[in-house]
């Protein structure tokens, strides 16, 4: 380790490079490659050449404006380096960074779009991101956005559709880094996180002036105002589970649509015939299994369950503390053991639906958006829908899920963003969307529509009409541990099935978990 300090050396090297060498060498290097002086150049070199020529051509533009934009944007950061390491080194670093960024910037053929768009001054561009993506739904949304753009010539909307699996993380990432996004999909399960981080805007100022707000039905209003009693998003649709079943198989066995969970177990058992690869029930043991177990436990507890705080009974104990809870859990496990494919211990949403569609399972409990999918794949008359089975006391609890559109708190085009949300949430557009996707609409005006009164959607109307037996509960999504809870109960139940945990121990654990949650508060 002799010689000058590394700082001196670096500084010196920097000056050397920036003063004479870089430009010269780079030019020579490129010219060598481009010129034809090499007699027998290989295929690879030929390709290199054409790429480099191309790079140069499309890079020149970026290089011209590159350094100064970069410098201005990062002035303070750069100045720190500047002062500390000396002008020369800074200059050479800048050169290299610029070269690199110009090389890469031209990779995106349309990267100039952003700056070009701002040239025509009135045109406002807003970006909207969805999370429950599927190619079919994206298509529907695009149709609506086209209509919106026609009605509002000054506004362009760009729809972002990340793959479903990573969409929530992606949205969180974009919001946390204040990326360019104005309107976003907010769901009952994500709204708490978004509000805690101050990522989405309170829409009260807009909803107070919006005529459509008054016609939102109770469930939709409740969902919109779920956090802090402020409208943080406008639901585009409501989710509520119903039972799908194979009428043809039921007829074969002389069965009727199950009224109670016990009926469901018996029906599932009767239908199951592994030799025909036919099973009773699309059991959910994988991701999202939590609500199936919790719903059943609530129903077994009957009217003791507190609808306002539904992880607890009216007497304040948790729903897992009772003997009924044990019955419920055992019934749930029996349905798996005697009436479901072995595979289903790992099934999530997609597999359940696939199992039903593929004619492997005879019953499925799912959201209304499945109706459309099943309709496309299965023949008329082979299946039908029914209300969710009840507990021994004849009571069914159900949760109304919601998803909708919210506004990014950092949006620079809040008024335009609201225009879009308002448009998407208008009774006409909402009806179009919910019918296409198969959701329960959010406006009271829609329930008169024949579409929802007959056919596969009928159980919803029945359930909503009979409030004595069908009790809506407030979701527990606002508890701090909710996210963790979902994986705990799902994994514990799998552990019971694999014989690694006993039913009693599991219930005790869950009981303790919710006592603790209650203490921690929301």
Partner 1 sequence: MNNTGVRKPRLSRTAAFILFCLLPALIPVVVLTYFPIFKGIIMAFQNYSLFNLNDIRFIGFDNFKTVLQDPNLPTIMQNTVLWVFISLILQFAIGFVLSLLLYQKFPGRGVYQGLIYYSWAMSGFLIGIIWRWMFNGQIGVINDLLLKMGLISERIGFLSDPKWAMFSVIVANIWYGVAFFAIMLTAAMQSIPEELFEAADMDGANGLQKMLHVIIPYILPTIITTTALRVIWIFNFPDIIYAMTNGGPANSTHILSTFMLDKIVFGGDYGLAGAIGVISIVLLLLYTLFYLFATKASKAGDF
Partner 2 sequence: MKRKVISRVKLSSKVIILGIWLLFMVFPLYWMILTSLKPKNDIFKFPLEYLPERISFENYANIFAISKFHVYIGNSLLVSLLSAFIVIIISILSSYVLARFTFRGSRQIMSGFFLTQMIPMFIGFGPLYSIMSQLNLLNKQGSLVLMYSVLLIPFCTLMLKGFFQRIPSSLEEAAMIDGCSRLGGLIRIILPVMKPGISATFIFAFVQNWNELFLAIMFIDREEAKTIPVAMNSFITKFDIDWGAMSAATVLSVIPTMILFALCQRLIVQGLTDGAVKG
Q: Where are the alpha helices (DSSP H) in 17-42?
A: 22-34
Among the residue ranges 39-47, 146-154, 229-237, 426-434, the one whose residues contact partner 2 (CB under 8 A) = 39-47
User: Which residue stretch of 26-34, 213-221, 414-422, 503-511 sits at the interface with partner 2 (rule: CB under 8 A)?
Assistant: 26-34
3-state SS class at 137? helix
DSSP secondary structure letters along 322-359? SHHHHHHHHHHHHHHHHHS-GGGGG--HHHHHHHHHTT
Closest CA to 202 of 225, 181, 218: 225
Judged by beta carbon, residue 95 or residue 393, the one nearer partner 1 is 95
Residue 44 binding partner per list partner 1, partner 2, none, with a CB distance cut-off of 5 to 8 Å that depends on partner kind? partner 2
Question: Minimum Å distance from CB 177 to partner 2?
Answer: 4
Helix (H, G, I), strand (E, B), or coil: what is residue 408?
Answer: strand
The listed partner (partner 2, partner 1, none) that binds 491, CB under 5 to 8 Å by sort, is partner 1
Question: For partner 2, which residue of 61, 146, 277, 487 counts as binding (CB under 8 A)?
Answer: 277
Count of C-beta atoms within a 10 Å radius of residue 63: 16
Task: Give, in degrees to the nearest 5, the angle at Cα 359 between 358 and 363.
Answer: 115
The residue (of 86 and 286) whose beta carbon lies closer to partner 1 is 286
**Contacted by 45, from partner 1, partner 2, none: CB < 5 to 8 Å by type:** partner 2
Binding of partner 2 by 64 (CB under 8 A): no
Nearer Cβ to partner 1, position 359 or 427? 359
Mark residues 179-208: x for contact with partner 2 by CB under 8 A, - for none. x-----------------------------
List the 155-160 sheet strands across, edge first.
Answer: 155-160, 124-129, 183-187, 401-407, 234-239
User: Contacts with partner 2 in 119-138 (CB under 8 A)?
Assistant: 129, 132-136
- Positions touching partner 1 (CB under 8 A) are 1-3, 12-13, 16-17, 21-22, 25, 93, 96-97, 100, 165-166, 168-169, 172-173, 176, 193, 196-198, 274, 277, 285-287, 341-347, 355, 358, 360, 483, 491, 494-495, 497-498, 500
Q: Are strands 279-281 and 383-386 parallel, antiparallel or unpaired?
A: unpaired
The two most distant CA atoms of the chain are separated, in Å, by 95
82 binds, among partner 2, partner 1, none (CB under 5 to 8 A by kind): none
Q: Which of 72, 73, 211, 454 binds partner 2 (CB under 8 A)?
A: 73
- The residue whose two tokens read 């029906």 is 267
Helical packing angle, 135-151 and 414-425, nearest 10°: 110
Q: At 280, list the tokens.
A: 């009773």
316 DSSP 8-state letter = S
Nearest CB to partner 1, comparing residues 172 and 393: 172
Nearest alpha-carbon partner for 21 in 91, 114, 78 = 91
Contacts of 343 by beta carbon, 8 Å cutoff, 6+ apart? 351
Which CB sits closer to partner 1, 287 or 458? 287
Contact flag: residue 491 with partner 2 (CB under 8 A) = no
| Matching residue, tokens 């009727």 | 256
**CB contact at 8 A, 514 and 481:** no
**Which residue lies nearer to partner 1 by CB, 25 or 83?**
25
CB of 452 to partner 1, least distance (A): 33
Please identify, using beta-carbon distances, which residue of 216 and 360 lies nearer to partner 2: 360
- Report the alpha-carbon distance of residue 97 to residue 92 in Å, rounded: 9
How far apart CA 250 and CA 284 sit, in angstroms, is 21
Under the rule (CB under 8 A), what is the footprint of partner 2?
A: 1, 25, 28-29, 32-33, 38, 40-42, 44-45, 47-48, 51, 73, 100-101, 103-111, 129, 132-136, 139, 158-166, 170, 173-174, 177-179, 277, 349-350, 353-354, 357-359, 369-370, 373, 377
């Amino acid at each position: 380790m002799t010689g000058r300090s590394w700082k001196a050396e670096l500084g010196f090297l920097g000056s050397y490079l920036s003063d004479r060498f870089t430009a010269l060498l780079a030019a020579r290097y490129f010219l060598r490659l481009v010129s034809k002086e090499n007699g027998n150049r290989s295929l690879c070199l030929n390709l290199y050449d054409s790429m480099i020529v191309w790079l140069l051509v499309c890079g020149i533009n970026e290089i011209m404006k590159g350094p100064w934009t970069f410098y201005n944007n990062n002035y303070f950061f750069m100045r720190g380096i500047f002062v500390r390491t000396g002008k020369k080194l800074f200059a050479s670093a800048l050169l290299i960074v610029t070269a690199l960024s110009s090389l890469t910037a031209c990779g995106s053929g349309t990267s100039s779009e952003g700056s070009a768009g701002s040239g025509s001054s009135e045109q406002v561009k807003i970006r909207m991101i969805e999370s429950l993506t599927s190619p079919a739904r994206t298509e529907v949304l695009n149709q609506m956005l086209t209509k919106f753009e026609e009605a509002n010539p000054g506004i362009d909307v760009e729809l972002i559709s990340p793959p479903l699996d990573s969409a929530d993380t992606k949205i969180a990432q974009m919001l946390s880094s204040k990326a360019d996004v104005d309107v976003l999909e907010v769901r009952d399960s994500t709204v708490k996180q978004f509000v805690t981080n101050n990522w989405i805007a309170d829409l009260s100022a807009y909803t107070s002036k919006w005529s459509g707000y008054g016609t939102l039905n109770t469930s939709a209003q409740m969902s919109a105002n779920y956090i802090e009693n402020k409208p943080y998003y406008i639901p585009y649709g409501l989710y509520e589970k119903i039972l799908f079943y194979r009428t043809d198989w039921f007829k074969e066995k002389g069965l009727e649509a199950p009224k109670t969970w016990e009926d469901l177990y018996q029906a599932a058992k009767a239908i199951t015939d592994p030799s025909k690869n036919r099973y009773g029930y699309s059991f959910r043991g994988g991701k999202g299994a939590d609500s199936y177990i919790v719903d059943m436990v609530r129903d077994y507890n009957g009217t003791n369950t507190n609808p306002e705080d539904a992880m607890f009974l009216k007497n304040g104990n948790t729903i897992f503390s009772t003997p009924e809870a044990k019955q419920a859990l055992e019934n749930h496990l029996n349905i798996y053991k005697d009436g479901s494919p072995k595979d289903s211990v790992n099934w999530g949403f997609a597999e359940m639906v696939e199992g039903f569609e593929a004619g492997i399972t005879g019953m499925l409990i799912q959201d209304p958006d499945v109706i459309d999918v099943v309709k496309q794949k299965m023949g008329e008359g082979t299946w039908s829908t029914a209300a969710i089975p009840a507990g021994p006391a004849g009571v069914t609890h159900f949760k109304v899920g919601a998803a909708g559109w919210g506004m990014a708190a950092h949006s620079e085009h809040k008024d335009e963003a609201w225009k879009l949300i308002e448009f998407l949430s208008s009774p006409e557009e909402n009806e179009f969307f919910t019918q296409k996707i198969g959701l329960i609409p959010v406006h009271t005006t829609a329930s008169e529509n024949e579409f929802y009164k007959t056919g596969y959607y009928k159980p919803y109307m029945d359930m909503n009409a009979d409030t004595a037996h069908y009790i809506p509960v407030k979701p527990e999504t606002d508890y701090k541990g909710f996210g963790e809870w979902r994986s705990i109960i799902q994994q514990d139940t799998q552990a019971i099935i694999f014989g690694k945990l006993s039913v009693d121990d599991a219930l005790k654990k869950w009981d303790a978990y919710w006592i603790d949650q209650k203490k921690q508060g929301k």
